[in-house]
Structure formats: structure tokens, C-alpha cells
Amino acid sequence: MKALSLIVRLFRGAAKIQRKRMILTATAIAWGTVAIILLLSFGEGLKRSLETGRRGLGESIVIIWMGETEKAFAGLPAGRPIRLVPDDVELVLEGVPELASASGEMHNWNVQLVNGRTALNKRVVGVHPAYRDLRTSYAQAGGRYIDELDQRLKRRVVFLGNELAKDLFGKDDPVGKTLLVADTPFTVIGVLQKKKQMSMYGGPDSDRATIPLSTFEAMFGRRYLSNLVYQPTSVAMAPVAKRHLMEVLGAKYRFDPADTRALYFWDTIEDAKMMNAIMIGIEMFLGMIGALTLIIGGVGVANIMFAAVTHRTREIGVQMALGARRVYITGSIVLESVALTFAGGVAGIGIGVAVVQALAAVQARAKSEAMEFLGAPTISIPIAVTTVTLLGLIGLAAGYFPARRAASVQPADALRFE
């Protein structure tokens, strides 16, 4: 320990002479550190923003639309339309063990909604109660979503999107109030919690009214589903679930389970995988820009270390004459380089964190959609680890080469150096 502290002291005296240059070098490192922290934090913020946006549609769900057969099957010609009915939801839940839950969905995109003197034509959808969890449609406090009893009793209850509720009821609490849906009185049971939704089909969830599927069927006289939403038991089981589902429905409607046109799948699990890959790409790109900035700072450190080594050649010669092994010479130079790098790094991390926090505060208050999409910059553990690792590597590299040069000189030559 004493040896280490002495070695540090050996260089501290000499460092005084170069203080100004050292401060500039540390500043360069601090700048690079701020850059890398900002870039990675914005990357992280964007990633989280995209992730919550994706969750707005639902977590690991698959949506099926109906198509036409493309292959002839069991004596039936190609080109038959396949139409699913509400009972098929129970059929697939029973027949496909890999399904965690499923819901049918029917759309009527132009229904008049009337509250007192306010009348709007909006989309109304009928769904099973499982839709709530599948499509992350949770009620605000004081309300609830459609439940099994509503579905069984074909109750005239309606769940409103948060934007739609505002348009119809203004600032009043709509829960418990009566709303005319296509001239039929419905009771409002809940309002959607505000959510970020990036993917959608048939408009955002915030701008629609939802009623039980059974009520929808009865009111609008529909037989066929617009689409079916399901969630496999796990992400790993998703392909198996899809295959089994095709087999079960293929057996009922007599189409080839390999017929890709009979049903259209929107697999958000696959989307999520791709998005993750893209995000990793973006993060690597941002990290690389930051790392390059930091490396420029590292070049500065290497430069000052080379100057320091030249400046202290004679002292190094004296240390060699006294029997300093190579590790003492190189070790102290590398140590100094790492210390210099970390001094800049610590300052940079401090400034970076402060800037990120300030920007996050600004972002939280900003109303612009672009800012919302960008997300609040966030510092995560991996960002901290990456930054510190990079700083360490740069410090080592910036010290290693000057140190190697210092140690390679013959002591006699070093002592002669003026």
C-alpha cells in the first residue's frame, strides 16, 4: 500500500508542472463521457418509450383476421372465404392447450353515441371480457371493464375510451351515467386509463366505445367476428399455438392447416423481436458514437502521458538505477493514466447525470408529441457499466504505450537524458 502511495507521489510532483495540460485532458475525457452518457440515455429512453407504446396494444398477442382459402382441401375448391364465429373462441381455447386466453372482436365503425346534446359517430366494438388483459384496456379508478356476467346477460353496458369520454361528457365523471348507443340506453361502467399506444388496428383504443360481444351480436345482428385476439401461454409456445390453432380451425372449416391465406396472423411477438433487434442496433450505434468521442479524449491522455514520460526520463532512469523493476515503471504510468481518465470520467458522469435529469424534467413537462415519442432520457445500470468499462479500457490503453516506451529505455541512456 505504501509502495503504491509512494509511486503515486513520485508522479504527483511532476504533475504539478503539467497541471494545465492535465486539466484540459481531463476535460476532454469528461466531454466524451457526457456525450456517451447522453447518447445512451436517450437510446434507453427511446427504447422504453417504444416498449410502453408497444404494450399499449398488448403484450405478446396475436391477432387473426379472416381470409380465403388458397389451396383446395378435402374435395373443396380454393377461394372459399373462412368466417369465424364467437363460438370459435371457446373452440380454440379448448382445442389448443398452448393458448392462455382469447377474445373475439366485432367492429361497427359508425355508431351514433348521444349524451344529452352531444352526439358523435364513433366506432363501437364488441368483445369478450378477456379482451381487457389481452389489449391492456384497464379502467380508471371508479370504473370497471366488461365482465363475464355482462357477457352472459347481454347487458347494455359500455366502456369508453378516455378521449371519447372527454368528448362526450366533458369534465364530468361518465361512470354510472347513461349513454345512448344507436338509440339504445347503455350504462357507462368505466373509462380507459390513459395509455401510450403505438400499434393499432381500427383506430386508437382511446377513441372507441366497447360493449359485451353478446350485446353487440344482438344489437347489430352480426354473426361473424371481425377478428380474434389470443395470447399463447408463453412466447416460446407461440409457433406451436399457431400451428394447433390452424389445425383446430382447419378441421372445423375444412381448410389445409398449411394454407397461409385462410387466416391472416398479426404476430406482435415477432414484431417485438424485430423491434428489439432494431433497438439493439440503435443502441450500438449511439454507443459507438459516444465511444469514438471518448476515444478522442483517450488520445489526449496518451499524448500527455507521452509528454510526461519524456519529461521524467531522467527520474525514471534514477528509479531504474535504484532497482525499480519494469512493473514499477509501467505500473505507475498506467496508474496515472487511469487516474487521469477516471478524474475526467467522474466529472463527466456527474455532469451527464445532471444533464440527463434536467432533460428528463423538461421532457416530462413538454406537451409535444415528438418529445413524448423520444421518451425521457434514462440512465440504466448497463449504461453506467459500459461507460466505466470504456473509461477503464481507454485509461489502460492511453497509459500502456507511453509506459512501454519508458520501460524500454536503457537506464544509462535515461540517466544521461537532459
Partner 1 sequence: MFWNGKNGKNGGKSEGNGHHLIDLQGIRKVYDTGAVKVEALRGLDLAVRENEFLAIVGPSGSGKSTLMNIIGCLDTATEGSYRLRGEQVAGLTIDRLAEIRNKRVGFVFQNFNLLPQLTAFENVELPLLFKGTPARQRRERVELLFEQVGLSDRMLHRPVELSGGEMQRVAIARALACEPDIILADEPTGNLDTTSGRDIIGMFEDLWRKGHTLVLITHDPAIARRARRIVNVQDGTVVSDEAVA
We find the least distance from the C-beta atom of residue 9 to partner 1, in angstroms, to be: 7
Residue number, 235 or 327, with CB nearest to partner 1: 327
DSSP SS3 for 234: coil
We find the least distance from the C-beta atom of residue 341 to partner 1, in angstroms, to be: 22
We find the least distance from the C-beta atom of residue 328 to partner 1, in angstroms, to be: 6
Contact string (CB under 8 A) for partner 1, positions 18-47, x = contact: ------------------------------
Q: Please tell me the distance from the alpha carbon of residue 391 to that of residue 335, in angstroms, as a whole number.
A: 13
The residue whose grid cell reads 428489439 is 276
DSSP SS3 for 389: helix
Contact string (CB under 8 A) for partner 1, positions 386-415, x = contact: ---------------------x--xxxx-x
Single-letter residue type at 102: A
We find the least distance from the C-beta atom of residue 335 to partner 1, in angstroms, to be: 15
Taking CB under 8 A as the criterion, the residue among 64, 328, 363, 383 binding partner 1 is 328
Residue number, 223 or 325, with CB nearest to partner 1: 325
CB atoms within 10 A of CB 221: 7
Taking CB under 8 A as the criterion, the residue among 323, 367, 369, 381 binding partner 1 is 323
Q: Does 2 bind partner 1 (CB under 8 A)?
A: yes
Residue number, 5 or 368, with CB nearest to partner 1: 5
Taking CB under 8 A as the criterion, the residue among 179, 320, 359, 383 binding partner 1 is 320
Q: Please tell me the distance from the alpha carbon of residue 351 to that of residue 387, in angstroms, as a whole number.
A: 13
Cell of 178: 347513461
We find the least distance from the C-beta atom of residue 340 to partner 1, in angstroms, to be: 17
We find the least distance from the C-beta atom of residue 410 to partner 1, in angstroms, to be: 5
Residue number, 350 or 411, with CB nearest to partner 1: 411
Site for partner 1 in 186-205 (CB under 8 A): none
CB atoms within 10 A of CB 68: 14
Taking CB under 8 A as the criterion, the residue among 10, 62, 130, 229 binding partner 1 is 10
Rg, Å, the chain Cα set: 33
Taking CB under 8 A as the criterion, the residue among 326, 358, 362, 389 binding partner 1 is 326
Q: Does 50 bind partner 1 (CB under 8 A)?
A: no
Residue number, 253 or 328, with CB nearest to partner 1: 328
What lies within 8 Å, CB to CB, of 233 at 6+ separation is 97, 98, 99, 100, 241
Residue number, 4 or 280, with CB nearest to partner 1: 4
Taking CB under 8 A as the criterion, the residue among 325, 361, 382, 389 binding partner 1 is 325
We find the least distance from the C-beta atom of residue 396 to partner 1, in angstroms, to be: 21
Cell of 5: 502511495
Taking CB under 8 A as the criterion, the residue among 191, 238, 249, 324 binding partner 1 is 324
Residue number, 145 or 328, with CB nearest to partner 1: 328
Residue number, 6 or 218, with CB nearest to partner 1: 6
DSSP SS3 for 95: helix
Q: How far is CA 414 from CA 28, 311, 402, in A?
A: 31, 11, 14
Dihedral of CA 53/56/61/67: which sign? negative
Contact string (CB under 8 A) for partner 1, positions 289-318, x = contact: -------------------------xx--x
What's the chain's length in residues?
418
Helical segments of 56-182, H only: 87-95, 131-134, 148-152, 162-169
**What DSSP string runs through 2-48?**
HHHHHHHHHHHHHHHHTHHHHHHHHHHHHHHHHHHHHHHHHHHHHHH
We find the least distance from the C-beta atom of residue 403 to partner 1, in angstroms, to be: 14
Q: Please tell me the distance from the alpha carbon of residue 93 to that of residue 109, in angstroms, as a whole number.
A: 28
Of 286, 349, 9, 294, the C-alpha closest to 302 is: 294
Q: How far is CA 57 from CA 131, 139, 187, 203, 345, in A?
A: 11, 15, 25, 11, 41
Taking CB under 8 A as the criterion, the residue among 12, 83, 223, 273 binding partner 1 is 12
Q: Does 319 bind partner 1 (CB under 8 A)?
A: yes
Q: Which residues bind partner 1 (CB under 8 A)?
A: 2-3, 6, 9-10, 12-14, 314-315, 318-326, 328, 407, 410-413, 415
